[in-house]
A = this chain, B = another copy of it.
Amino acid sequence: MPEYVLVGKKIPRTDSLEKVRGEAKFTADLVLPGMLYGKVLRSPYPQARILSIDTSKAEKLLGVRAVITGKKDAIPYAWGVLPYVRDYQLFPIDKVRYIGQEVAAVAAVDEDIAQEAVDLIHVDYEILPAVFDAEEAIKEGAPLIHDDKPNNICVHVKVNEGDVDRALAEADIILEGSVKGPGESYCQGEPYAVLADFNSSGLDIWCPNAGPHLKARPLSSALGIPTSMVKLHRVYIGGAFGGRSEVSPADVIASLLSRKAGRPVKIVYTREENRNCIRQRVGWVTNLKMGFKKDGTWTVGDFRCIVDGGAHASVGPIAVSVPYMEMDTTYNIKNLRYDGYRIYTNKTPCGMHPEQNRAFHIAVETYLDKAADILSIDPMELRLKNGAYSGLVTATGAKITSCGLVECVQKAAEMAGWKEKRGKLPAGRGIGMACGSEMVGFPMGIRGGSSAFIKFNEDGDATIISGVVDNGQGNESMVMQIAAEELGLSISNVHLVSADTYICPLDQGAYSQAATLISGGAVKEAAADAKRQLFDVAAKMLDTKPEELEASDGNIYVRNNHKKSQSIRRVILNALSNNITIMGRGYRWPNIDNEREWVNNPHGQFATTYTYGCSIAEVEVDQETGKVKVIRMIAAHDCGYPINVMAVEQQIEGAAFGSGICSGLFEKTLWDNGQNINANNLDYWFPTALDVPNIGTIIVSTDDPYGPFGAKEGSLTIRVSMSAAIACAVNNAIGKMVTKVPLTPEVILEIIEKEKSKGDSEVR
């Protein structure tokens, strides 16, 4: 691999100091002159017809500046980030579809008055029958949530590659089974907040969001102003995890209140609102058939998945599609059928969760183990035999250009002592392995690329202007490090203007795992462009040719004679003295030939490149109490060439924790007739620091041909695979197949009992 000065090293993040000192401002911290406070009246019923709304008392309350309801004020538009299903009417006029849905809103001079006014609004409802379970909702006769959606099917993604029926007929063994998992919360540290100022030059708005430019478009449609007049401004963001991807109803509510009141309006959600009234993570049921040859070749998979999406479509097919795609690019399986149903239920709408669905990957990986058992093959060898490789074109048409899967498996196995432990641990102990891949840089239409400017300042420092957004993963540091490496500057001499739609050129946002590949790639292009201009000036100063020069340590050197050099600062002064301004620009787009359709028999290239990973977990299961203790987690991730080793390691640790401990063992939303009953940090079962075992992180470097400095993305294959590794380890420990997640003590005890009474797989 090439050697760089900054790239591939451990670099402290540039936002650390501001965050540690408490200077970093999040949306809730912001104030504007004349700012009002907004509060929302919400539906108390999971499904009910709105008969009338009386706001007269609220409007008369002293200090109230604006009241909005569906009939009087709402916009006749149902927005979505993606144009698949437009089914969300803010402030519905006909009926409400979940507890917590917006019915009216108030802006007042302080929060207490706003809440008092909300309480003074009277709504008459006619309560309607509702349905809360996806498997019930899809049945004939279930209450319909949207009249035009029979069987409450929001989206049905159909994949059919190869010849599944024939392959099943020709398989030596066929396994059949199912795994279920309830919904989860995103659990961002920062409850949702928005500050909106609708004025004559457009909309100025601050909110936690994963893609400012992507969000600007639906906001502009919702508010009827040009996209260029929607100014999403940079602000620190307290976590996203897929839950800050879409336009939030709060964004539009604050904007409408601001327009009506003529003053800025801030809405800060309570912890409960952040759980009940923004997107959550879907519940999921996987039913599978998997067929193998005797030599361990995995020939066929047939999957039917029921996804509980809540009352609205949100990002629609994405959440239903990503898990099968991750499997398709992890394992070379030629015959694949997938039916994914996203089903409406009368619960909080669910959103994006691109990085994994535990109930899918756990099913796949535990049945791979089962096959290995039956065929007497080491599960590791089975995975290596069927794993993807560079050059592979998968069943669904994905092209793999760089692939570190084998190295991930081997290194993780070595660190974990796999050969010494698998099958040789004492009773109640188990070790499990799972693999994953993640798509990086998929097309997003005209909003799929990123562009950047770089300007040089008079003191020789460089400032990047990039739309890149940092939800907490370190994207700001990442682009600064890339620019610094390319320009030969230290990071402290690089500055960043980011994530502001008005200022920054188009960027795809923190979607498609592409902040490094696309946004970072664009910044590298812009830096290279600026460097060419620097070299032109420096070559004259050093009496040589530009192609003889190189930049590092804040200097420009003659490559073969480092005694001849000029500091970049002096080159800039020389340029300015000669009436030249150094101004770089660059852009990067996903590298896709034949784009894939989403819903009906999708086939073709989906992403620019893929990362690979292998998770191994070692667990101890108390068969009396059902408690799973994770002894150790090993996570090996092929990130391409790592930009910031420290950031990648932190991301891998976070992914192992989030997938393995949080999703694998702890997290689920609980519902009672459509009411989320654990919508707070006390009742929602949370792991703590005490629940985190030792995590062994392994970075597998591959040099991606398209990534900046060979980089891809920084941890998501561990998010895909660690909960499955834990499930495999639990199976290994208890000798039974898990059928439900999370693996709480109750679930473990239930599986032990159930397995005693019936078998859920057959062997031919």
User: Using Cβ atoms and an 8 Å threshold, which residues of chain B touch A583?
Assistant: 451, 453, 505, 585, 587
Is the Cβ of B228 less than 8 Å from the Cβ of A495? yes
Please tell me if A23 contacts chain B, counting CB pairs below 8 Å: yes
A583 to B18, CA, bound (A): 32
Contact of A199 among B23, B199, B451, B573 (CB under 8 A): B23
A200 to B199, CA, bound (A): 32
Is the Cβ of A585 less than 8 Å from the Cβ of B502? no
Which listed segment binds B: A24-32, A336-344, A748-756?
A: A24-32
Contact of A465 among B213, B453, B459, B589 (CB under 8 A): B453
Give residues 543-585 of A contacting B (CB, 8 Å): 573, 576-577, 579-581, 583, 585
Please tell me if A21 contacts chain B, counting CB pairs below 8 Å: yes
Nearest opposing residue in chain B for A25, CB measure: B33
Please tell me if A503 contacts chain B, counting CB pairs below 8 Å: yes
Q: When A33-B29, A201-B18 are in contact, do A581 and B449 touch as well, CB less than 8 Å?
A: yes
A281 to B30, CA, bound (A): 40
Is the Cβ of A465 less than 8 Å from the Cβ of B465? yes
Is the Cβ of B581 less than 8 Å from the Cβ of A451? yes
Q: When A25-B33, A31-B33 are in contact, do A455 and B581 touch as well, CB less than 8 Å?
A: no
Is the Cβ of A446 less than 8 Å from the Cβ of B465? no
Q: When A29-B33, A458-B506, A506-B457 are in contact, do A579 and B585 touch as well, CB less than 8 Å?
A: no
Is the Cβ of B23 less than 8 Å from the Cβ of A200? yes
Is the Cβ of B503 less than 8 Å from the Cβ of A503? yes
A29 to B200, CA, bound (A): 18
Please tell me if A60 contacts chain B, counting CB pairs below 8 Å: no
Say how far A685's CB is from chain B's closest CB, in angstroms: 34
Please tell me if A226 contacts chain B, counting CB pairs below 8 Å: yes
A666 to B505, CA, bound (A): 51
Give residues 566-615 of A contacting B (CB, 8 Å): 573, 576-577, 579-581, 583, 585, 587, 589
A259 to B458, CA, bound (A): 24
A25 to B455, CA, bound (A): 28
A220 to B200, CA, bound (A): 35
A465 to B199, CA, bound (A): 21
User: Using Cβ atoms and an 8 Å threshold, which residues of chain B touch A585?
Assistant: 453, 583, 585
A704 to B760, CA, bound (A): 87
Say how far A733's CB is from chain B's closest CB, in angstroms: 49
Is the Cβ of A502 less than 8 Å from the Cβ of B495? yes
Q: When A201-B18, A449-B581 are in contact, do A505 and B33 touch as well, CB less than 8 Å?
A: no
User: Using Cβ atoms and an 8 Å threshold, which residues of chain B touch A497?
Assistant: 502-503
Nearest opposing residue in chain B for A586, CB measure: B583
Is the Cβ of A18 less than 8 Å from the Cβ of B506? no
User: Using Cβ atoms and an 8 Å threshold, which residues of chain B touch A576?
Assistant: 446-447, 449, 506
Say how far A517's CB is from chain B's closest CB, in angstroms: 14
Please tell me if A410 contacts chain B, counting CB pairs below 8 Å: no
Interface string of A412-450 (1 = CB under 8 A from B): 000000000000000000000000000000000111010
Say how far A464's CB is from chain B's closest CB, in angstroms: 11
Is the Cβ of B29 less than 8 Å from the Cβ of A30? no
Say how far A690's CB is from chain B's closest CB, in angstroms: 32
Say how far A536's CB is from chain B's closest CB, in angstroms: 14
User: Using Cβ atoms and an 8 Å threshold, which residues of chain B touch A29?
Assistant: 33
A445 to B576, CA, bound (A): 8
Is the Cβ of A200 less than 8 Å from the Cβ of B17? yes
Is the Cβ of B581 less than 8 Å from the Cβ of A506? yes
A29 to B580, CA, bound (A): 38
Please tell me if A676 contacts chain B, counting CB pairs below 8 Å: no
Nearest opposing residue in chain B for A461, CB measure: B228
Is the Cβ of A457 less than 8 Å from the Cβ of B227? yes
Please tell me if A188 contacts chain B, counting CB pairs below 8 Å: no
A229 to B200, CA, bound (A): 31
Contact of A21 among B30, B200, B587 (CB under 8 A): B200
Interface string of A447-489 (1 = CB under 8 A from B): 1010101010111010101000000000000000000000000
Say how far A193's CB is from chain B's closest CB, in angstroms: 13
A50 to B743, CA, bound (A): 76
A459 to B446, CA, bound (A): 11
Instruction: List 6 interface pairs A-B (beta carbons < 8 Å), by A numbering.
Output: A18-B200, A213-B458, A227-B459, A446-B576, A455-B505, A458-B506
Extra inter-chain contacts (12) besides given A18-B200, A447-B576, A457-B506, CB under 8 Å: A17-B201, A21-B200, A23-B199, A30-B33, A217-B458, A446-B573, A449-B581, A451-B581, A455-B506, A497-B502, A581-B587, A583-B585
What 6 pairs across the A-B complex have the smallest Cβ distances? Answer: A579-B589, A446-B576, A228-B461, A581-B587, A451-B581, A455-B505
Interface residue ranges, A against B (CB under 8 Å): 17-18, 21, 23, 25, 29-33, 199-201, 213, 217, 220, 226-229, 445-447, 449, 451, 453, 455, 457-459, 461, 463, 465, 493, 495, 497, 502-506, 573, 576-577, 579-581, 583, 585, 587, 589
